[in-house]
Amino acid sequence: MDSNALKAFLAIVDQGSFSEAAESLHLTQPAISKRLAALESQLDTILIDRSQRSIGLTDAGKRLIPHARRILDEIHNATTMLSSGDGLVSGELQIIASHHIGLHHLPNWLRKFTREHPRVSLNLQFMESDTAYIQMRKRQAELAFVTLSDSMESDFVVYEQWPDPMAFVVGPDHELAARAHIELKDLAEYPAILPDTTTATYRVVSRLFLEANLPLRQQIPTNYLETIKMMTGVGIGWSVLPISMVDSSIRTLDIGFPVARVLGAVGLNGRQLSHAARALLETVQREGSGK
């Protein structure tokens, strides 16, 4: 079974169109179509339904996906193993980082890493953690630096993790900022500015309010913590932010409930890391999670 044909098939599945698949593999659309046709001929079955305007998988196509990914993973693993003898840390390294990690942690790591390994070409993508997990399943990167999810599936492996303590915060002119003692029921009277309901941070806060049988008044949800910090600072509502982001523009509130999330570096089970990816992890472990 030709690996290039399998790559073409998975690219069509992941990108959702022949044209975008061709662009992702730096091929022409006829070349992508030819590779798919050759794979279907070899397997003597139709994998993708071309009768609709949108890409649709046949039952055979759906069954092939996990096998195709495993075959390409093994080819990747064999290539990685065979190149281990030269000891060189080089080549392209594709990584994903959440916006918060990219802003507050990644710069220090990359400053050290690029100085020590100038032969590595970094391909860096920034996105929300939930989206990063999806892209990792599509093999769009070797490593993702994300908020670890309590619902993370078993096909991921955590290479490094560290706690990210958080605090309830308000702007300096907010009514709650002047109170000496704050409880959850006090927060329930004011709007909250929190990330989307799918995020780990929202789930942690929501669980506290649910267990206390209190309403959570979410307002203007956004996943960009710097935006949340700005809106909190001007008094639009209260929020929960990493302690590392607290400065004079916001005030912390002690409500008696410690809140934290866990950040980490994840890869895919069954897919070996390249020398460059392992070298980056070594840098992260050596430098720690601080700025």
H helices present in the chain, as ranges:
3-15, 18-24, 29-43, 59-82, 99-104, 106-116, 129-137, 184-187, 200-211, 225-233, 275-287
pLDDT at 84 over 70: no
Give per-residue pLDDT as tens, 172-229: 999 999 888 899 999 999 999 999 888 888 888 999 999 999 999 887 778 889 999 9
Give per-residue pLDDT as tens, 218-246: 877 788 899 999 999 999 999 999 999 99
Q: What pLDDT does 141 receive?
A: 95
Strands 259-268 and 156-170: antiparallel
Hey, is 92 helix, strand or coil? strand
Burial pattern 254-287, b for ≥16 Cβ within 10 A else e, equals ebeeebebebbbbbbeebbbbbbbbbbbebbeee
Q: What pLDDT does 289 receive?
A: 67
Q: Cα–Cα distance between 242 and 91 in angstroms, integer?
A: 34
Q: What pLDDT does 43 receive?
A: 94
| Mean local confidence (pLDDT), 239-268 | 93
- What's the distance, CA 244 to chain centroid? 20
In eight-state DSSP terms, residue 273 is P
For the chain, the average pLDDT equals 91
* pLDDT confidence tier of residue 85, bands split at 50, 70 and 90: low
Q: Cα–Cα distance between 160 and 280 in angstroms, integer?
A: 11
What Rg do the C-alpha atoms of the chain give, in angstroms?
Answer: 23
Q: Cα–Cα distance between 221 and 22 in angstroms, integer?
A: 36
